[in-house]
Amino acid sequence: MFSTDADGAPVDPAIFGLTAMEIAPISASKLVVEEAGKIVFTVATMRLWFAAQALRKGWVDETKLVGDLPRARYWQQPLGIFIASTDFESAARYFEPLASGQPAIAAQVITSSTSQWGKGTGRPPSEFEAFAKRTQRCLQAWLQGISPMERVCGFTDQYGSLLKLRAGYSAPDTIIAFSHDRSLPEASALPSDWGSGQTEQFHVYKEPDEPSHLWRQTYSMVREDLVEFLERQRWELVDSALFHEEAWNLVTGLSQTPRIFARSVPWTVINKFETLFRRRNIWNWLCEKRTSHPDALPAPHPPADIQGENLAWFSEMFSPMAALARAHSTYGMALAAYQRIVTTYFPRFQNDLHHSAWWPCRIIGKVGGGDRPAPGNRWWITYHCEPVISEKEAIVTLELGTNEREAWHASFEANQEKARQLRPKAPPWFWVRSTVLNLEDTHPASVIVRRWLIDDFGSAGWKP
């Protein structure tokens, strides 16, 4: 236990009050050895196995484990051994608070340790009622973990509360069904005459051999709905800065202003379409924007600067400096908006999503590629995130160059060490990223935010 709390470090035997004579037979087991007056496991696997037994015996305080993020990360492998081999009630002691408070770590443990494949199992109605109640407990914990987004799940009502849950068997599958019927108990057994043709939402449930399979299966149910939401949500409609992109597209479309080349649109032009803008629910936003920009609505990002009849590709419409300015603007808007969105909608995931776990951070990189002579050549951006001390430093620092990685790799260890010191609770560092700078996107910063969210949730254990 002490060694796992210290990420596998040697343990001072004085903690246990052991004498040299008492240490000798322990060392003789060859499970541990004495080094420089301390004891350490000879094989890490043995330490993990014994740590899992400490969980089985209930020696680890679940509240302290969940409340200490670095400690919870150290215990991930013992928790995996534990949940794959223990009964539901024993596992629930640790996984109910873990799924509620650290849903990313809980997901990583479960997906690495349990199976999602199995078969349906018939039971008497009384056993299905107990099964339904256990399923309800698991789902309640996961829903608390993703709060305040529990309403995106198909088995919750408009307030995010779990629907009435029933479990049963329809050969050859175990069935979990949900109902809006308020007269039903919170969790109960399905009637023997239930059929899939009924209007209730239901899940076909595969039960593996692991006694704690309920945690894996219920996680999968919540994950599917949450990931679908991440993929389809229009983030530009929930963040004021990102909404600038949406408003700009509507304004330039109605006013027949060249979207990609315009720097602004005069308010005298916008006023002509007030009725339409009110109908589209953007007039109030435009009025607020006018207070800081009284002459014209500015474009959300620097425009293209090269025009000509023979230009067939968006990349050809940007000079190197214009492409660099565009990248600065879109990634700067995305970085700030991403943090606001995570803080508002996914508070229990903050320390496990890369761009948020290192916040405040800055983006450092290079923009290049479009200045080559090949027609239709794409602009690229290569960048990495680096933790900084103050939010004032959370900026985008880009320069023109190539998208080669060697220069960044040369300083990788130094950057990694800086990340460890500034963000000890953050997940491991990720490598430099290279991607196309999609200058043709109508919502460039919004697209970046969506991609970051999906990628970061995937890395945190909530993969599509």
Q: Per-residue pLDDT tens for 224-259?
A: 999 999 999 999 999 999 999 999 999 999 999 999
Place of tokens 């043995």: 46
Domain final position from 93, 113, 133:
113
Residues 292 and 370 in one domain: no
Q: CB of 141 within 8 A of CB of 101?
A: no
**Residue 91 belongs to some domain of the structure:** yes
Does position 374 have pLDDT exceeding 70, yes or no?
A: no
**Residue 392 belongs to some domain of the structure:** yes
Residues 142 and 95 in one domain: no
Residue 404, pLDDT score: 59
Domain final position from 232, 257, 272:
232
Residue 241, pLDDT score: 96
Residues 108 and 39 in one domain: yes
Residue 275, pLDDT score: 95
Query: Beta strands of 206-344 (E only): which ranges?
Result: 264-266, 296-298
Residues 251 and 370 in one domain: no
Residues 27 and 103 in one domain: yes
**Residue 305 belongs to some domain of the structure:** no
Residues 327 and 359 in one domain: yes
Residues 105 and 167 in one domain: no
Of the pLDDT bands very low, low, confident and very high (cuts 50, 70, 90), residue 121 is confident
Counting the structural domains of the chain, the total is: 4
Does position 407 have pLDDT exceeding 70, yes or no?
A: no
Residue 425, pLDDT score: 82
**Residue 446 belongs to some domain of the structure:** yes
Q: Give which of 14, 57, 21, 13 is closest to 39, Cα–Cα.
A: 13
**Residue 306 belongs to some domain of the structure:** no
Domain final position from 250, 267, 298:
298
| Measured distance between the N- and C-terminal CA atoms of the chain, rounded to whole angstroms | 34
**Residue 118 belongs to some domain of the structure:** no
Of the pLDDT bands very low, low, confident and very high (cuts 50, 70, 90), residue 65 is very high
**Residue 304 belongs to some domain of the structure:** no
Identify the sign of the CA torsion 67, 69, 73, 74.
negative
Span 136-162, mean pLDDT?
Answer: 96
Residues 184 and 294 in one domain: no
Residue 213, pLDDT score: 85
Task: Please state, rounded to an integer, the average pLDDT across all residues of the chain.
Answer: 89
Residues 348 and 415 in one domain: yes
Residue 252, pLDDT score: 96
In order, the DSSP letters of 23-36 are HHHHHHTTSEEEET
Q: Which residue would you say has higher pLDDT here, 32 or 207? A: 32
Residues 330 and 445 in one domain: yes
Residues 150 and 266 in one domain: no
Residues 360 and 449 in one domain: yes
**Residue 87 belongs to some domain of the structure:** yes
Range of the domain at 245: 237-298
Span 171-187, mean pLDDT?
Answer: 91
Does position 274 have pLDDT exceeding 90, yes or no?
A: yes
| Cis amide leading into 444 (omega within 30) | no
Q: How many CB atoms lie within 10 A of CB 88?
A: 19
